Amino acid sequence: MDINSVNNNISSLNNSADYQLTKSNDSSKIEENSSGFLHLTINQYNQKRDELSESLQSFNEGIAATKIAENGLNKQEDYLKNIQSKLESLDENIQNKNDIKNDMNKELLKFREEAFQTRYKKENLIAIDDFEQNLSVTISTKEAYFSIDKPNTPQIANNLAQEFSRSDLNNEDSLNSTKDQVSLAIKQVQNLKEQFSGLGTSIEGSAKESITQQVELSKLNMKNKEINFGQEMNDFSKTNVTSNMGYLVASQANIMQEQSVRLLSK
């Protein structure tokens, strides 16, 4: 057999080795550019996407509930401030102060009505009735858990109504005591607003994190779709075939070399 044939085969082997090295480098580039999402199966991706969507829905509902509660408390605060304004405007020249009491009681009635009208999905947010089962406003997801005790603001109105019934607005001490009770009620409502506002802020923070994760997951999925898996498999197959051809050439070259040595030794 012509020794040049062996040289040609060996050259082919070297070229095959170079080709394999080039393909290995290409594969490493693909691996470097790929994200961790490539390790997720389709089912895992769908599950993660659904979990984030459910969490975001829960967060949105929580934010809506806190905003509605804050709005109701704002209106209740306005009613109490109307009462406070009426008390501050009293002076000795006003003879029929019972009319003032009637006006204040009307404001308390609006206060109570607002408590039971402040609802989300048919659930009271700032009132507890006799059939109430949920005594807290709760937002629960796989990522976070938020809860706040549900206030019973109608009780504030009941306490003030009792105060008005026994208060003598013609007596300065009694009048001042009633003013103090109204001021205390206003502070209670303001504290409740702050609690709901804080809860809403915390939920919004978690919602933003959930949105960020959804965006990242979507980007990773788009990267995954950009990879031509058919072409990658084709290149991988070509590399394996070429590599095996190189090993075959190397084996033939070794056999021919042994035969040549035997001929020369005879």
> What does the domain layout of the chain look like in residue ranges?
42-225
Distance CA 114, CA 128 (A): 13
Parallel, antiparallel or unpaired: strands 119-120 and 123-124? antiparallel
Distance CA 39, CA 92 (A): 82
Higher pLDDT, 43 or 39: 43
What's domain 42-225's architecture? Up-down Bundle (1.20)
| pLDDT surpasses 90 at 189 | yes
Higher pLDDT, 17 or 211: 211
Count of CA atoms in the C-beta half-sphere (13 A) of 137: 33
Q: Looking at residue 191, what is its pLDDT?
A: 97
Residue pLDDT, tens place only, 54-64: 878 888 889 99
Distance CA 53, CA 70 (A): 26
**Tokens 């089962």, located at residue:** 133
Residue 256: which residues within 8 A CB-CB, separation 6 or more? 1, 6
Residue pLDDT, tens place only, 143-176: 788 888 999 999 999 999 999 999 888 888 999 9
Distance CA 191, CA 212 (A): 32
CB count in 10 Å sphere of residue 43: 8
**Tokens 């991988």, located at residue:** 236
Mean pLDDT value across the chain = 75
